[in-house]
Amino acid sequence: VHVALGRGAEFDAIRRLLARWGDSARGIGNDTSALDVPPGHRMVASTDTSVEGVDFRREWLTPSEIGYRATAAALSDLAAAAASPLGVLLAITVPTNWREALEGVADGAGQAARAAGATVLGGDLTAVTGPGMLALNVTVLGSVPHPITRTGARVGDHVYVTGVIGGPARALRAWLDGTDPQPADRARFARPAPRIREAQWLAERGARAAIDVSDGLVADVGHIAAASGVRIAIDLGLVPRVSGVTAIDAAQSGEEYELAVIAPGGIDVSDFAAAFGIPLTDIGHVTEPASTRAGAGVETYCDGKRVDPPGGYDHFSS
């Protein structure tokens, strides 16, 4: 399934990774990787970078978890389009102090790809001499007849969110406070689950716009509002959250990789829960088109009273 590789330390490293990936990788060793898209589908592509010290710290996660998390986070963008994953390209920058951990990182990346039905199609290893930060860039390719975007929300549509949120933010807070997170919160941070099949189920039931929750639920629904040119109302009290987390903390918890989906009302949420073992919750609706009086955006309510929307995570805000 692979092209024979030449001699040298870099190719030895790649051979070790291929041995670990087994049939999770295919067609590696040429300059490019060719792939087929099913008839009637469009290809969708997305890329995501995880950098030590920015997206994670080495002492929080195992090398395998670092690879898994970076790859799952990238695959989550395919879920937002309701696409089927085809392949993953991994570019890893490896300083000397990470060389021993490279196989673990690759193991985790391969596991995340396999779990989503994707194949590792290629990548790039850059060895940096001396100590430094690990960086992983993960490019994902998928296909879907009609990709869901952020632009399709219409007045009267409902806002649904998958899963139960708040765990990753609480794990992060525990680490930053110097304590160990609860195991369930840690697992949600270390091994996020891209909602690939859930998105396809929702697309079949008329989902019109979607986003994966990476900056925080309210901030991400705000991206849909902006892209669709609408105003959206969310009841924070309805946001499904892990016990002990406030509605505000849940609404701004980032890196959840759950989906916020805009769809006509009436979706059978108990069917969804029975199919996937996680809840689907209706938390609000699209109220009106953006106007000069009220621009596109999100209004948040708690117990029927309007409250200030919680902020989200913005890489460039400071």
The contact set with Mg ion (CB under 5 A) reads: 77, 212
Q: Is 53 left (phi over 0), alpha (psi -120 to 50) or beta?
A: left
Q: Which residues contact 139 (CB under 8 A, 6 or more apart)?
A: 45, 46, 47, 74, 88, 89, 90, 91
Tokens of residue 47, six digits: 């890329």
Q: Kindly tell me which of 28 and 80 has the beta carbon lying closer to Mg ion.
A: 80
CB of 211 to Mg ion, least distance (A): 6
CB of 247 to Mg ion, least distance (A): 23
CB of 25 to Mg ion, least distance (A): 25
Q: Kindly tell me which of 64 and 214 has the beta carbon lying closer to Mg ion.
A: 214
Beta bridge partners of 252: none
CB of 256 to Mg ion, least distance (A): 11
DSSP-derived letter for residue 214 is: S
In which order are the strands placed within the sheet that holds 280-289? 209-212, 259-263, 158-162, 280-289, 230-235, 297-302, 305-307
Q: Kindly tell me which of 212 and 249 has the beta carbon lying closer to Mg ion.
A: 212
Tell me the backbone φ, ψ of residue 95, rounded to 5 degrees.
-75, 165
Q: Kindly tell me which of 52 and 212 has the beta carbon lying closer to Mg ion.
A: 212
Q: How far is CA 134 from the centre of its chain?
A: 20
CB of 182 to Mg ion, least distance (A): 26
d(CA 309, CA 300): 5
Q: Kindly tell me which of 120 and 199 has the beta carbon lying closer to Mg ion.
A: 199
CB of 168 to Mg ion, least distance (A): 15
Q: Kindly tell me which of 114 and 223 has the beta carbon lying closer to Mg ion.
A: 223
Q: How far is CA 43 from the centre of its chain?
A: 18
CB of 75 to Mg ion, least distance (A): 10
Q: Of 199, 6, 203, nearest to 85 (Cα)?
A: 199
Q: Kindly tell me which of 77 and 198 has the beta carbon lying closer to Mg ion.
A: 77
Alpha helices, H only, the chain: 9-21, 63-80, 102-115, 167-176, 183-190, 196-204, 217-228, 247-251, 269-276
